[in-house]
Structure 1
């Protein structure tokens, strides 16, 4: 009888372990609702659940530093971030000075992400240089990545924080609300962000300011972060504030993952994202820029998760 029970108990144990593994809930840390990253995170969670059977939920945090700390500590498994911010987090410099977030890895280069300073359509502000003496969003205590982003865009017009009126804001959403209410002349957002459309409707129109995309401007922004570049953004229905081809400061959106997340989970999520582009576009049009043919780059100072590397190598997409 004991000989018969042992295999049965073993089989039941394996079944329970498998069930528990499949029921494991993984989370994507994101900024608050209304941001591009929150919208993208919800799209990825949806595809992860429906296409890869990964139980993913989106957990909002106050901003990028809180998100990176959550992933580094294992409180969340994934997060979308500007690769520049992930690099300085791993190195323990800039806004992360004093502690290296050594458990962060890249799972996937998702897409280029143009950003821009935007103003009211009737503001009379048409260039970065026109911001001199204007009320510009600053501080960014809850969203510290806002400081280097704004600093870099101001630098393309030869401006520094000393050239503008610094109006402290905690984060992107509050800054956009302050522009809408008239407390600010300028703030910034990711192009295509839902919040930009909301402000546009409330004030009768907004516009993004172009950056100078010459070598001098590039040299200036690379002194601030190592992986900025410029790209041209063309008008599209979901890109509020872009009415003509416009040069924008750009970074790469990357999916960051804790290094302890299993290779299989990372492999399956990367596979689900790259092989279901159309499903993602239905959720958020910004996924039209999903880098299915160039899902990795050799970024300085940060490594890729081995589960992601396995997928890239299988598909002939590994660039390193």
Structure 2
């Protein structure tokens, strides 16, 4: 079953533990470069707010480069043009070398988490309010949007259907050229449901339309449902959603994953990573209300046994704070072992891979699955 690891930590104990840390005065660089979602998004606003705190604390100048899609956000990180990416779930796909990262120019990336934000909104299946749906199982036979070229949203839709014991063959798949056109389609009566975050303008447009909006509940005690969802998309975790268009006053049971996911490459300077997590934790009260969703970086919102390994400096910070457990370390070790195995499998495969891009991608996915299964690890994709 998907599990979140909530953390409860007294402020006095945290600062007491870190006051004696030999790394407590780690020096930050003169400049930090980031990629983030486009200007006007909550992810961009959060990084701007956090960057200002870092600048005030250490004098580090910062630059945020907006990227309108996953490739534009991840490429500067891959090439070393930026130090950090405030990414979406594409950071996980990159670490696994799948979907848009399965081609010859990519492959598995040495991604490390600095921190993540899990706020009061969620990612869910928005359903027109005039359709009889209470749970994902009720989507059977309904018209569900499929976004051409958007692997992340389509995988999320597949995961929600799986929770209800359904697949794409159990619904009417309606293909749309883009995200906004999918919601235009629901409003105009050509589809019934699409994946989105609860606070997007698209969800607000649907809620204000004559059809209205609703969000299927994901029961906490439906263990089989959670297991099916995890098998499709292991990055989802149970989440109580309290903010968004058409959300009930007392919230609703759903699933989500962090956004943004603050990541770097494994070779990010230790002092830089340590200074970042130190600022994010100890200056939390200074930025948590500065941008929508920024409160989601709270320590208690961090899932320490998630799907991407932490940077070693972040692990040290949490260990010195007294909240890093043997279970967390064992999970971290498994993630690092998985990344190493994928990197080695990629090197072996690319040594004699076909030139045709489609053949390359399929051959890599087959080689990847074979290597993971041989090591007793689940390929997932």
State the TM bucket, normalised to the shorter chain.
0.7 to 0.9
Q: How many residue pairs align between the two structures?
A: 292
| Structure 1 counterpart of 2:355 | none
| Structure 2 counterpart of 1:89 | 94
Separation in structure 2 between the aligned mates of residue 144 and residue 250 of structure 1, nearest angstrom: 16
Q: Secondary structure at the match of 1:155?
A: helix
Cα deviation digits, residues 168-201 of structure 1 (max 9, x gap): 3455455445445555421122234455335434
Contact 1:137 1:186 in 2 (8 A): yes
| Structure 1 counterpart of 2:294 | 287
Separation in structure 2 between the aligned mates of residue 252 and residue 91 of structure 1, nearest angstrom: 17
Change in 2 beyond 3 A, CA 1:177/1:283? farther
Mapped pair 1:191 → 2:198: yes
Separation in structure 2 between the aligned mates of residue 275 and residue 198 of structure 1, nearest angstrom: 38
Query: Equivalent residues in 2 for 1:98-109 (5 A)?
Result: 98=103, 99-109=106-116
Mapped pair 1:261 → 2:268: yes
| Structure 2 counterpart of 1:221 | 229
Q: Secondary structure at the match of 1:79?
A: strand
- Structure 1 runs not aligned, ≥5 long: 1-20
Mapped pair 1:278 → 2:318: no
Separation in structure 2 between the aligned mates of residue 140 and residue 55 of structure 1, nearest angstrom: 39
Contact 1:69 1:101 in 2 (8 A): no
- Give how far 1:297 is off: 1.3
Separation in structure 1 between the aligned mates of residue 81 and residue 169 of structure 2, nearest angstrom: 38
Mapped pair 1:155 → 2:162: yes
Change in 2 beyond 3 A, CA 1:311/1:63? same
Contact 2:125 2:193 in 1 (8 A): yes
Q: Secondary structure at the match of 1:211?
A: coil
- Structure 2 runs not aligned, ≥5 long: 1-28, 330-381
Cα deviation digits, residues 63-100 of structure 1 (max 9, x gap): 335433442232433233456x5344223234432543
| Structure 1 counterpart of 2:117 | 110
TM-score between the two structures when normalised by the length of structure 2? 0.64
Cα deviation digits, residues 251-298 of structure 1 (max 9, x gap): 244311123433333222222222233343323353334332464613
Separation in structure 1 between the aligned mates of residue 180 and residue 56 of structure 2, nearest angstrom: 30
Change in 2 beyond 3 A, CA 1:93/1:44? same
Change in 2 beyond 3 A, CA 1:218/1:78? same
Contact 2:123 2:198 in 1 (8 A): yes
- In terms of fraction of residues, the more strand-rich structure is 1
TM-score between the two structures when normalised by the length of structure 1? 0.75
Contact 1:36 1:194 in 2 (8 A): no
| Structure 2 counterpart of 1:10 | none
Contact 1:176 1:187 in 2 (8 A): yes
